[in-house]
Structure 1
Amino acid sequence: MIKRLQKFDIYLFFILILSAILNIYHIWKDDTVNAYYTATVTSMMQSWHNFFFASFDPAGYVTVDKPPLAFWLQTISAKIFGLHGWSVILPQALAGIGSVYLIYRLVKPTFGQVAARLAALIMACTPIAVAVSRTNNIDSLLVFILLLATGMMFKAVKQQKVLWAIASFAMIGVGFNTKMLQAYMIVPALVLFYIIAYRTTWKKKLLSLMISMIVLLGVSATWSIAVDLTSKDKRPYMGSSQTNSALELAFGYNGLQRLTGQQSMGGGSSEGKGQPPSQQGAQKNENNSSAVPQPPTDANQNNTDNSNQSSSQDRPSMQGPPSNSYDATPPEMPGGNGDGPPSGVGGKMGNGSGMFGTGTKGPLRLFQSELSDQISWLLPFALFGTVGIFLSTVFERRRLNTKQKETLFWVAWLVPAAVFFSVAGFFHHYYLIMLAPPIAVLAGAGWVAMTRLFQTETGIKKWLFPVAILGTTAFEIYILSTFTNTIGYGLSIAVGILGIGTVLALLFTKGKEKLKQLISLVAILGMLITPLYWASTPLLYGGNSVLPEAGPQLASSSRSMSSQVNEKLISYLEKNNTGEEFLFGTTDATTASPYIIKTGKAVMALGGFSGSDNILTLSEFKELVKEGKIKYFYISGMRGGSSDILTWIQKNGKKVATSKWQNTPSSTTNQQTSRSNNQQSDQNSQSNGGMGRMGGMGSGTLYELSVD
């Protein structure tokens, strides 16, 4: 017991407490979080069939557009604690804290306790890592799984046991079933590390790697193959795929198309011709974004918290849509995306800065203002630190030593991921969490290496640490300059004084090594002030559960909104339900999600997430109506053009009088409130790139269906 207490690292304890506060505090304020995913959990809780296939709706009509592992964990959490916003966030929040701990455990044996503490602290303070971990988006869980795989590979090398190496690749397969090909980003690093670090003959290495790759592919494809081998009439349609195939979804829509930025057509009309149902004739704003079909909501509901708008002089927030609402996909990017809205929603759109405000493609993309404040604060320091690690260690008999080998592993994680984000045409800001572990490790271990060089070497090696401090300080001031209209110049001045002051103190402090070490520590902690503040902003100001990001712009941007449903509509549909399987149908998951969460009943998202999946033909839909499985269908008034099913509904369906299912303001006060809310919603719509009206009367039509 005494030995265990002696080994207990009090600094790690406080770092984990910090991480827990950043990742968990106030998550109970988020109602339904990313409603597309929460609706999926709602459905998965209702049957093993829905649970296995990750069905978006309780009827098992269409799946979510991701593999199921993360949603399995969220469903288990919701089963234990009840379905709440915080209960579906909890697995990701715990994964974020776990990643901080794993970083410490991975770094300490080779680089020492101080490096491990700093790496863990940097990971805990990474803004985008915190922002993602506070939502039910699945990237933080993926990073945790990849760090587990890293630990297994390190153990394989240290213990010289090939089974651990094979297990490492198997864990990447688990990651594949969390977010498909994104998990493969670290495969090059694992292969390189195994080749350079595992002590055996080349023949045995190649054989082991071959077995590992087979295991990797086997574990990766297990669920997808099981889905594809299941008769299509006995499982949900694979959401956002073109061919109703999980494997096609993995390597197409969730694979290579992320790199190219070209999204799949998904579906077309119900007969496979024409434009996607939810997009035809859609209204466009100046950024070429399509208007969004919205769920009907009560006219007198004040469902927004949008009193503050983001400053046009600062980098616009990627908050874009409300936290539980989704954009339909514009015609130029059909297919939709369960991760969030398309071009034209939030961020810097229409100005050459990337599809989602992610900057201009090129080698310096991670240093551009669109991305740098989310992940890159200490990237320059990590790069200097990498050089410092190699300069502070010597080759052992012309071979790489352990520190150099592990450094190469983290570099091999960082570089391919950085290359992807530098050239990719389609990703969201929160994907950048993939860069957090290598930056944290290289910066933490690099600090230790560079401080030793400064204390013991002369010339270029000695100057590496001061240059790293000044370079990183200058870069942080550059990032902060984008936000001066929001936060002023105070933080920039403080960062500059700390950076320059610590360098001068180091240079003019002679013969006092302990004092130099303290000053060096102040330098790295000073560089962590801004990312820590950024990481705190989702907690302080409220974040966005659809497109997570961090930064002071959250304080002045339109706040996330809770999902709103039309209670009168629900009452009408439930009262008039005569045993139909679906409460009602609509074009897409945007509209369906909050109603699934609220009622726990099946709502048909005819075209899947974005409304563009080609799931049913007209004859199949008519057969469902004839069999009494669906009786009501809601079509947004913002839809134009035609598709076979929607045209048939409009031609043959009986319009339900709005007075039966839609509240009408009964007083002047209510009318004034409604107009005020609608005007505010229209302003938000314009600032969010043409999102369409949120709340208000709703402009759609409810149809009662029948087949003679």
Structure 2
Amino acid sequence: MIDTATAPGSGGAPPAAPTRAGRRPATTSGPLRREYIWLALLLVGTGAAYLWNLTASGWANSFYAAAVQSGAKSWKAFFFGSSDWANAITVDKTPASLWPMELSARLFGFGSWTMLLPQVLLGVASVALLWAVVRRHFGANAGLLAGLALAVTPVAALMFRYNNPDALLVFLMIAAVWTMLRALDDGRWRWLVLCGLLVGFGFLAKQLQAGLVLPALALTYLFAGPPKLGKRIAQLFAAGAAMVAGAGWWVLVAQLWPASDRPYFGGSTNNSIIELTLGYNGLDRLGLGSGSGKPGGGGAPGGDPGGGVTAGVDLAAGGDMPQMHGGFHPFGGQAGITRLFNETVGGQIAWLIPAALILLVAAIILRGRAPRTDGKRAALLLLGGWGLVTGLVFSFMGGIFHEYYTVALAPALAGTIGAAGAVVWAERERRWVRAVLVLSVALTALTAFVLLSRTPDFVPWLRWLIVGVAVLAAAGLVLRGGRRLTIATLLAAVFVGLAAPTAYAVETLRQPHTGGIVKAGPATDSGFPGFPGGNRDAQSDPESGAAAPGGDAPGGATDAGGDADRERAGGGGPMGDEKPGDEVLALLEQDGSAYTWVAATISSNNAASYQLAADYPVMAIGGFGGGDPAPTLAQFQRDVTEGKIHYFIAGENHGPGGSSTSEGSKITAWVKDHYTATEVDGVTLYDLTATPKAG
């Protein structure tokens, strides 16, 4: 049997077998130097590409940008993930994903570039770490292929330049896989404990989504770990305890902190981070919970516009959010085995799925007679299991699912391609293995052709070029030949796999993206219209353009569409990402430091825009969708009496996620009854420091 590391075309020196300590013997300096030169080129190229045009998206998702702004000003807001630095309410996630951006803002000042730079660095680090994961058992070239495949995956090119929580989550999941591979090499307790800590910290980035990698981690070690079975089980329990500690320290402090001295946990129904984790960000996501996860019909906080929106629901009018179980899915399409290939999700991630599945099965068969602790097979099981679990969960989850969630699948998919591809390529002299390679190339070309055909005006020639190169690659595999033909065939196969996603990734880098609902690749009219950044990117739809820090909207967008958006919102101002009018901004900035909150408004989308522009805290009543029971009417009245809030900015009576009986609706009614409205820049303001109406 030919070793994958020494096979023609695998490149580099063969990786020596790890010693008991998990370290490799010294190798020749020439091949090792070349390995790191190629790695440096990959990382520099990834970093340069991700940094290019970085500030075009302005504040990106203003919901999280406002939280970063707050964490840069207040350590309490930093710790809890508050939307405002007066600490009224938090975002609807645990806060760790905000911490790198907030530290950057503290060090270099708060702005679009300094906020998004840590996300880019996490992307580059993820590519490097995946290279290390795959190289460990499959060689440097396999690691380069895996790292490159991750870097050019369209959804990765989007989310490693965006301020959603996914960048830190993905990095921590790859880090957990790397530590597990170390544990599989030598069976040491420290690697199991570190793996558990990393998964636990991943919980603090995006809660239960970090658990997608858990089944593969545990089952692979249970099967292939070096110690005896009893010790393996004990080590896994230790890893579980470390995981609980990695997340539990923050949860414990947050839960024990007096509620009167901390912000309300946004997205929860009873001010509990545990309820938020198990409810809205847990069972409800899978479609196993109540469906809405929110009072008054449920709004989706944090960029998720509801627990299942059906056609005809008037969000601006506060219509209840119907359940998604078996019904219409505006985000990511209908649940089912084909979801990852559908119109909206396919272009984000699906390019290499058929090849990865075929190569994974073939590679495991080729390693079938290896010892139980075989490192290559264990790595294949770990990467492939991670991808299978993640893919199946995303395919069948009945709750809220957004296209960009698939970035959590990207490293597993890219790693499987690199690792399994190396094993199968090394055995290509076998007839059935050549048939597997030909089938992989053919299905990859077919997938690219279908996905590219959905955007016929985008590089229309590319799909035909991919088909032509695929024919040449298949011919090279069938004919076989010398070294030159082998290298040409390998390069052709790589082109077939990566050309289309690279084109989508380049288009992603070129475009600005804003709001909570974003997609990579060419702009399409799919998704859910009416939400900021919803069905189009900021470039193709000027009304969804993000206001760049301290300036106009990027990509040529101006405030021309602002008035229309304000009217749709009921006169409440910009929807999520647009800059408020100059007159409104001047009022907010005047004596802004004299108040705890310069203004209050329904929903975090409205509040974030005013806060980012004015640089003073703005209270987001009801959290993201306006449906959270915070503050209550009594609490709001107390804050007004104490002179803590200057203006109330009117808009939707209760926000897109609230209801006519929500606290936001009650607060709005109370303000209208007791204070006089003033129209400024088309926005309805109430001065809460003025004398209330008589009677």
TM-score range, shorter chain: 0.7 to 0.9
Residue 289 of structure 1: how far off its partner (Å)? 4.3
Paired residue for 2:277, among 250, 262, 265?
250
CA–CA distance in structure 1, aligned partners of residues 258 and 208 of structure 2: 25
The alignment status of 1:568 with 2:590, answered yes or no, reads no
CA–CA distance in structure 1, aligned partners of residues 418 and 610 of structure 2: 47
SS in 2 for 1:107: helix
Distance 1:449 1:523, change over 3 A: same
SS in 2 for 1:548: coil
SS in 1 for 2:686: strand
Q: Say which structure, 1 or 2, has more relative contact order (CA 8 Å, 6+ apart).
A: 1
CA–CA distance in structure 2, aligned partners of residues 617 and 181 of structure 1: 29
SS in 1 for 2:48: helix
Distance 1:585 1:140, change over 3 A: same
Distance 1:351 1:96, change over 3 A: same
CA–CA distance in structure 2, aligned partners of residues 247 and 234 of structure 1: 18
CA–CA distance in structure 2, aligned partners of residues 47 and 390 of structure 1: 51
Match of 2:470 in 1: 499
Paired residue for 2:177, among 118, 135, 150?
150
Match of 2:404 in 1: 430
Query: Counterpart amino acid of 1:500?
Result: V
Residue 96 of structure 1: how far off its partner (Å)? 0.9
Question: When the two structures are superposed, what TM-score results if normalisation uses the length of structure 2?
Answer: 0.81
SS in 2 for 1:487: coil
Match of 2:434 in 1: 462
Distance 1:263 1:79, change over 3 A: farther
The 8 Å contact of residues 149 and 171 in structure 1, kept in 2 or not, is answered as: yes
Query: Counterpart amino acid of 1:113?
Result: A
* 1:375-524 alignment, distance < 5 Å: 375-396=349-370, 399=372, 401-424=374-397, 425-454=399-428, 456-458=429-431, 460-484=432-456, 486-487=457-458, 489-509=460-480, 511-524=481-494
The 8 Å contact of residues 111 and 445 in structure 1, kept in 2 or not, is answered as: yes
Match of 1:525 in 2: 495
Paired residue for 2:541, among 551, 558, 563?
558
Residue 275 of structure 1: how far off its partner (Å)? 8.8
The 8 Å contact of residues 108 and 116 in structure 1, kept in 2 or not, is answered as: yes
CA–CA distance in structure 1, aligned partners of residues 634 and 415 of structure 2: 58
1:520-556 Cα shifts (integer Å, max 9, x gaps): 2222223211000111112223334533321122787
Residue 240 of structure 1: how far off its partner (Å)? 0.9
CA–CA distance in structure 2, aligned partners of residues 489 and 152 of structure 1: 43
* 1:66-81 alignment, distance < 5 Å: 66-81=93-108
CA–CA distance in structure 1, aligned partners of residues 95 and 211 of structure 2: 17
Match of 2:636 in 1: 621
Paired residue for 1:612, among 598, 608, 627?
627
The 8 Å contact of residues 451 and 517 in structure 1, kept in 2 or not, is answered as: no
Match of 2:314 in 1: 290
The 8 Å contact of residues 39 and 144 in structure 2, kept in 1 or not, is answered as: yes
Query: Counterpart amino acid of 1:69?
Result: A
The 8 Å contact of residues 592 and 603 in structure 1, kept in 2 or not, is answered as: yes
Residue 623 of structure 1: how far off its partner (Å)? 1.7
1:567-601 Cα shifts (integer Å, max 9, x gaps): 21232244466933221111111111122122221
Match of 1:630 in 2: 645
Paired residue for 1:548, among 509, 518, 522?
518
* 1:103-252 alignment, distance < 5 Å: 103-252=130-279
The 8 Å contact of residues 63 and 239 in structure 1, kept in 2 or not, is answered as: yes
Greater displacement, 220-229 / 500-509: 500-509
The alignment status of 1:579 with 2:594, answered yes or no, reads yes
CA–CA distance in structure 1, aligned partners of residues 483 and 204 of structure 2: 50
CA–CA distance in structure 2, aligned partners of residues 51 and 628 of structure 1: 25
SS in 1 for 2:275: helix
Residue 265 of structure 1: how far off its partner (Å)? 4.8
CA–CA distance in structure 2, aligned partners of residues 453 and 3 of structure 1: 25
The 8 Å contact of residues 352 and 360 in structure 1, kept in 2 or not, is answered as: yes
CA–CA distance in structure 2, aligned partners of residues 370 and 577 of structure 1: 43
The alignment status of 1:653 with 2:638, answered yes or no, reads no
Query: Counterpart amino acid of 1:209?
Result: L
Residue 352 of structure 1: how far off its partner (Å)? 6.4
SS in 1 for 2:649: strand
Distance 1:532 1:652, change over 3 A: same
Distance 1:48 1:649, change over 3 A: same
Residue 287 of structure 1: how far off its partner (Å)? 3.0
The 8 Å contact of residues 90 and 264 in structure 2, kept in 1 or not, is answered as: yes
CA–CA distance in structure 2, aligned partners of residues 140 and 180 of structure 1: 13
Match of 2:32 in 1: 7
Residue 197 of structure 1: how far off its partner (Å)? 2.2
CA–CA distance in structure 2, aligned partners of residues 650 and 605 of structure 1: 18
Residue 333 of structure 1: how far off its partner (Å)? 5.5
The 8 Å contact of residues 603 and 620 in structure 2, kept in 1 or not, is answered as: yes
The 8 Å contact of residues 30 and 86 in structure 1, kept in 2 or not, is answered as: no
Paired residue for 1:36, among 56, 63, 76?
63
The 8 Å contact of residues 240 and 253 in structure 1, kept in 2 or not, is answered as: yes
The 8 Å contact of residues 267 and 280 in structure 2, kept in 1 or not, is answered as: yes
CA–CA distance in structure 1, aligned partners of residues 60 and 458 of structure 2: 28
The 8 Å contact of residues 466 and 503 in structure 1, kept in 2 or not, is answered as: yes
The alignment status of 1:537 with 2:537, answered yes or no, reads no
SS in 2 for 1:610: coil
Distance 1:482 1:171, change over 3 A: same
Residue 276 of structure 1: how far off its partner (Å)? 8.2
Query: Counterpart amino acid of 2:164?
Result: N
Query: Counterpart amino acid of 1:287?
Result: A
Q: How many residue pairs were aligned?
A: 605
Query: Counterpart amino acid of 1:553?
Result: A
Give the percent of matched residue pairs that are identical in Structure 1 and Structure 2. 28
1:347-393 Cα shifts (integer Å, max 9, x gaps): xxx9966231x122212222223311110101111112112312433
The 8 Å contact of residues 132 and 548 in structure 1, kept in 2 or not, is answered as: no
Distance 1:275 1:473, change over 3 A: closer
Residue 505 of structure 1: how far off its partner (Å)? 3.3
Distance 1:606 1:4, change over 3 A: farther
Match of 1:355 in 2: 330
Distance 1:702 1:627, change over 3 A: closer
Residue 266 of structure 1: how far off its partner (Å)? 3.2
SS in 2 for 1:362: coil
The alignment status of 1:53 with 2:24, answered yes or no, reads no
User: Runs of 5+ in structure 2 lacking a partner?
Assistant: 1-25, 525-536, 548-577
Greater displacement, 493-502 / 26-35: 26-35
Residue 110 of structure 1: how far off its partner (Å)? 0.7
CA–CA distance in structure 2, aligned partners of residues 219 and 276 of structure 1: 30
The 8 Å contact of residues 185 and 416 in structure 1, kept in 2 or not, is answered as: yes
SS in 1 for 2:159: helix
The 8 Å contact of residues 359 and 368 in structure 1, kept in 2 or not, is answered as: yes
Question: When the two structures are superposed, what TM-score results if normalisation uses the length of structure 1?
Answer: 0.80
Distance 1:259 1:528, change over 3 A: same
CA–CA distance in structure 2, aligned partners of residues 362 and 286 of structure 1: 18
1:586-632 Cα shifts (integer Å, max 9, x gaps): 11111111221222212111111111110133222222211111242
Residue 165 of structure 1: how far off its partner (Å)? 0.7
CA–CA distance in structure 1, aligned partners of residues 632 and 520 of structure 2: 43
1:33-81 Cα shifts (integer Å, max 9, x gaps): 2111111111112222222122111211111111111212111101111
Distance 1:215 1:578, change over 3 A: closer
The 8 Å contact of residues 266 and 614 in structure 1, kept in 2 or not, is answered as: no
CA–CA distance in structure 2, aligned partners of residues 145 and 361 of structure 1: 27
1:241-294 Cα shifts (integer Å, max 9, x gaps): 1010111111111111111175545344xxxxx99899xxx9xx993343559x
User: Runs of 5+ in structure 1 lacking a partner?
Assistant: 269-273, 294-328, 335-342, 344-349, 663-696
Distance 1:91 1:276, change over 3 A: closer
CA–CA distance in structure 1, aligned partners of residues 516 and 595 of structure 2: 31
Distance 1:141 1:330, change over 3 A: farther
